[in-house]
Structure 1
């Protein structure tokens, strides 16, 4: 991967605090996603990961703190406004139209980016998706092939296994040409082979399309294997942030909740890397 850590972050959260009544879900959390990078966000249940994702994507307004996309403050802006600035996201449970084919999902997303008026006119007049333009075909087929979805492009997603559905959701998000993509538990429910395929896709889209990825993930080994940096939350507090090697060696992280998981995934790692913040 070719992260650009000294460039303006694609996505940045500064001192995010989120309170729900007397509950402090996030307490002065900071996070930065550089261009062309993969950043992981991990923590046990109740750590505040989903809340932070909600704040970053515009579904929640923080009690305090600021959110930036490419250096432009977006705090308080809607999810639609953030999408217009280059943000896209997926959800833990794929939200797909089961009767549409894989290709039709990507066509719809492509038209939202390049021909939004046509989406509504085709659907409201009952013409379906209508005849595609040559440029649209080229973009859609290139994306399907890039994610390995070409062989199943004409299958309905309702007939596909979960792993393929997750790839369809990633492809649909990429079709709107984001600069930063948020992935919520992308490996949830996947087997080892499907997780490996997803990891390959994530690394490939960063390398080939220059997208930055931020993902919440329960699979610690996946995070430590493919991320440029990792932020760790516990009870709404950022307890560590650094490279995978630094996270592996951080005693606060291991003592807090990762324990055996991080030890088992540490084969070949240098356990004496520098400290993390």
Structure 2
């Protein structure tokens, strides 16, 4: 599945350190080298894409940067501070939030309740325990909470389903809910694991437009692992390509498209030529055959 999208907005330029950065990350599992000396930086209000063939090490790098794995060598930084030894919870407290390839939702909670719960996990943890003990549910919220939840529902276009339970939601809506829930924790960096997986073209375009609006309206930086190469190239400010655990290319989408190592290892002619050029070439070959 591939999606044509408008070029991304330019990232905000400043002199601050990257919001999230991997420096020289190496990850070994016994004799297997899953990552070897990988660098990746995510700047302010920047969308960074991570692509590569199956087994290239994308998920491993994601796990290292989010705190699920500690690297064999190398360091991870948030806003210039070394967080290599920090747990996922401590990184979340610093402003890191992530989604997973398969949406992990509470089937009995409504869309709105998911966002209320996520907001309180960041801003009012004591209320969650009190509400559960007193059987009051997740409502009776202060105005600031209602306002924030309403903003998320509006910006991710969830208003029509906000009172529906998560069970039975279409996959596209479930993915938007996961993104909204991650944003309810008010992160500075949002990590997305295969946000278009299982979606059709229309749903993929919807998710892409929502993500660009999130960066624009909420000031969030985004890093995503994604199998849809055209989606990544169409909406990212920078793209990094892994192959057998090694970063073989990194730069703007235009630079990655033209990189010979990328074409040879993964993207090939599918990314080297637009569809129209490929069709014309095929017609010419047919005429000369």
**TM-score interval, smaller chain:** over 0.9
The superposition leaves residues 158-210 of structure 1 with CA deviations (integer Å, 9 ceiling, x where unpaired) of 12100000000000000010000000000000000000000001100101111
Are 1:89 and 1:183, in contact at CA under 8 Å, matched by a contact in 2?
yes
Distance apart, 1:7 and its partner CA:
3.2
- Equivalent residue for 1:127? 136
Q: Compared with structure 1, are the counterparts of its residues 150 and 246 closer, same or farther at alpha carbon in structure 2 (3 Å cutoff)? A: same
Q: Which runs of 5+ in 2 are unaligned?
A: 1-8, 278-289
Q: CA RMSD in A?
A: 1.4
Distance apart, 1:264 and its partner CA:
5.1
The reply on whether 1:84 has 2:93 as its aligned counterpart is yes
The reply on whether 1:184 has 2:175 as its aligned counterpart is no
The superposition leaves residues 233-277 of structure 1 with CA deviations (integer Å, 9 ceiling, x where unpaired) of 000000000000000000100001211331355779xxxxxxxxx
C-alpha separation between the residues in 2 aligned to 1:48 and 1:245?
23
Taking structure 2 as the reference length, the TM-score comes to: 0.90
The reply on whether 1:207 has 2:216 as its aligned counterpart is yes
Q: 2:11 aligns with which of 3, 21, 24?
A: 3
The number of aligned residues is 268
C-alpha separation between the residues in 2 aligned to 1:265 and 1:163?
27
Are 1:220 and 1:261, in contact at CA under 8 Å, matched by a contact in 2?
no
- Equivalent residue for 2:24? 15
C-alpha separation between the residues in 1 aligned to 2:106 and 2:73?
37
The reply on whether 1:143 has 2:152 as its aligned counterpart is yes
Q: 1:25 aligns with which of 34, 40, 45?
A: 34
Larger Rg: 2
Instruction: Give 1:38-187 correspondences, 5 Å limit.
Output: 38-187=47-196
Match of 2:41, SS? strand
Match of 2:34, SS? strand
Are 1:39 and 1:215, in contact at CA under 8 Å, matched by a contact in 2?
yes
Deviates more, 1:222-231 or 1:131-140: 131-140
Match of 2:167, SS? helix
Q: Compared with structure 1, are the counterparts of its residues 245 and 267 closer, same or farther at alpha carbon in structure 2 (3 Å cutoff)? A: farther
C-alpha separation between the residues in 2 aligned to 1:124 and 1:43?
47
Taking structure 1 as the reference length, the TM-score comes to: 0.94
Q: Which runs of 5+ in 1 are unaligned?
A: 269-277
Are 2:258 and 2:272, in contact at CA under 8 Å, matched by a contact in 1?
no
